[in-house]
Structure 1
Amino acid sequence: MPLNFSNTRRAALLQGAAAAGALCLPALSARAATKVAFGYSAVSDFATVFIATDEGMFAKRGLEVELKFIPITSTIPAAIQSGSLQMGGPTPTGYLQAVQGGLDHVVLGGGGVLSKTYTELGLVARAGAGIKTPQDCAGKKIGVPGIGALLHVAFSQWLKVNGVSAQSVTFIESPFPQHADMVKGGTVDAVVTGGPFMTRIIDSGAGYVASYFTTFLPEGYPTVIHVARRDWVAANPAAVKAFREGLQEATAFLLQSKNDARVRELLGKYLKLAPPAVAKMQISPPGPVVTAKQLQWWGTLLRDQGLVTSNMNYADLVLKA
């Protein structure tokens, strides 16, 4: 299934990627490439990083990227802070909570973004649960991939704008791979889930989609951002430049329909998915550039839900061009 988002947004992304590609690429140097460990999780939002790594878009710019799978996205900031990763892709909500906690990390770019047409994120209810509306969620037990994680925050906002208090729901924290068993076993009434985990539940008949709740959110806001420690960024400007340019080139590659088979091959490789699953999955629209305004929108939701307590200098959190 090819990418599914507006022609306007596709044109804008292609124009931006082409402009970046028109910049003079740094000449290959005889010196050793800068080695970077990059942490990713099991979502298609990292497609451009996979592409830039395997298609040599980082390597030709003197950047050697080692991709490391991190099962729990919320642990990526701590791994970056410790130095076991130099870069990684937390969600905006996880990142902002880490900054609130004292980590000095800066945003280099972005992965996937929200889209009105992206329907591989949603509320999947147990068969027979009777959940059809936000009001039906009151009093229910609902599994989320992390308390304070992006899907939990977005789902709580969906409840709020529909007049339902998130306090009326019992949230059960559970990783994506457990969602199918929890629904089938009746441990929860529903799960906030996505991707192949959502498909597995629906195909088994154990559950159904009660709402694609993320489609009410603003188009183009980041769901995954790429970050690094500020001191590492200051010490490695060439590596950062190479990463950002490689990301832009990979975005252009992703947006070309002729490359769909190759993109899916890479998703299967890094997400450990069988070809039939990869063939059916939607690919999150790319958003290589992240703005302070976008971060502030997520920050406002976090403050409203009591997950962060102070305002932040959002402009200072995004690395300038």
Structure 2
Amino acid sequence: MKEFFMKTYFSRRQVLSYSAAAIASTGFNAQAQSPTKIIFGFTAVTDFASIFVGCEEGFFKKRGLDVEPKFIPLNPSIPAAIQSDSLHIGGPTASVYLQAIDGGLDHVVVAGGGMTDKSLTGVGLVARAGSGIRTAQDCIGKKIGVPGFGAYLHVTFRAWLKINKVDPAKVNFVETSFPQHADLIRGGSIDAVVTGDPFMGRILSSGAGYVASYYTTFLPDGMPTILYTARRDWATKNAASVKAFQEGVIEAANFIKKPANNTKVREHIGKYIKLPPEILNTMQISPPGPVIVEKQLTYWVDMMNDQKMLKASPTVANLLFK
């Protein structure tokens, strides 16, 4: 009887022990397999297509990432949001990023969004109907809206003015977010905007403005318009997640490049930047450039040095997270 009791006692203890271990193991695996949260900051342009596609097609999720796109109205505010940890990764333009580095922030480039392409006509100087603006010279003394001081469109437009012998200091620039462009042109409070689709298309279709110049055609092809960046300390601490993010962006870029996926890509873009079907079907999408190399960043450093926008030239190789 005593022998039976002892066998039963130890048998029950073993069952309880195994059960506890199983529960602990299950809990640990569930915790280990829970996706890593990444809050990503974007502005309302198609250059972020690889993020939208990566989220909607599950390219991030299957790599254990929960990427949450967060709309940011003005591009120059993205580095500050990354620095404060409101964003883990964000998409500043190359010029905004380089100014943030110049200002002392230690951020690194982990991937890239859209790239320049001379065949695209989705970006330009859109003038108010009746303003008479047709050339760079016509911009002198005029009030021109740009979606962020120091951002891509502002810096490239300044470069275009200089190429055409116009001092950018003679133009009155006003910082205005993309969604405001149509109303500001229609209301007459500004003379022109440097803008892009889908907002450019809305202005043109309403008759409130016209394209004075597709000025970005002076840019070489293959230069990044948007960089995906993070704080260096965060990227180093979360290196495995950054690598998974990079892989997801590359897979999304390959998806975008396939013509058969065109309809899906446009639907995914429309979901995040709230576009109606009639605009979605006609807009141009920047080619994706998921991998950034030194030559591409050096191009922007040189342009910004020419405009005296940097106090010192950064060591470009140190800016790329590897």
Fold shared, TM-score > 0.5 on shorter chain: yes
Gaps of 5+ in 1: 1-28
Equivalent residue, structure 2, for 1:50: 52
Q: Distance in 2 between matches of 1:159 and 1:256?
A: 36
Pick aligned residue for 2:300 from 269, 292, 298: 298
Equivalent of residue 119 in structure 1, options 109, 118, 121: 121
Distance in 1 (CA, whole Å) between partners of 2:272 and 2:310 is 33
Paired with 1:174 and 1:142, the residues of 2 have a C-alpha distance of 9
2:288 aligns with one of 282, 286, 289: 286
Q: Which amino acid aligns with 1:182?
A: L
Moved more, 171-180 or 100-109: 171-180
Counterpart residue number, 2:312: 310
Query: How far did residue 30 of structure 1 move?
Result: 5.4
Gaps of 5+ in 2: 1-30
Residue 102 (structure 1) aligns with: 104
Provide the rounded CA distance (Å) in 1 between the counterparts of 2:86 and 2:273. Answer: 21
TM-score (norm 1): 0.88
CA offsets, 1:174-196, max 9 Å, x none?
11122112222222221111112
How many Å separate the matches in 2 of 1:144 and 1:87?
24
Residue 217 of structure 1: how far off its partner (Å): 0.5
Shift of 1:227: 0.5
Give the alignment of 1:124-273 within 5 angstroms.
Answer: 124-273=126-275
Instruction: Letter of the 2:40 partner, please give it.
Output: F
Q: Following the alignment from structure 1 to structure 2, what is the Cα–Cα distance between the partners of residues 81 and 168?
A: 34
Give 1:306 shift.
2.5
Distance in 2 between residues matched to 1:143 and 1:40, nearest whole Å: 20
Alignment deviations for residues 192-244 of structure 1 (CA, whole Å, 9 cap, x no partner): 11112111111111110010111111111001010111111111111011011
Cα distance in 2 between the residues matched to 1:184 and 1:74: 25
Cα distance between partner residues in 1 of 2:275 and 2:183: 18
Alignment root-mean-square deviation, CA: 1.5
Q: Is the 8 A contact 2:44 2:178 kept in 1?
A: no
What letter corresponds to residue 152 of structure 1 in structure 2?
A: H
Cα deviation, 1:60-105, whole Å, max 9, x if unaligned, reads 1111111111111111111111111111111111111111111101
* 184-193 or 218-227, which deviates more: 184-193
What is the aligned residue count? Answer: 293
Structure-2-length-normalised TM-score: 0.88
SS of residue paired to 1:71: coil
SS in 2 for 1:119: coil
Match of 2:174, SS? Answer: strand
SS in 1 for 2:38: strand
Contact 2:122 2:197 in 1 (8 A): yes
The whole-number CA distance in structure 2 between the counterparts of 1:30 and 1:301 is: 46
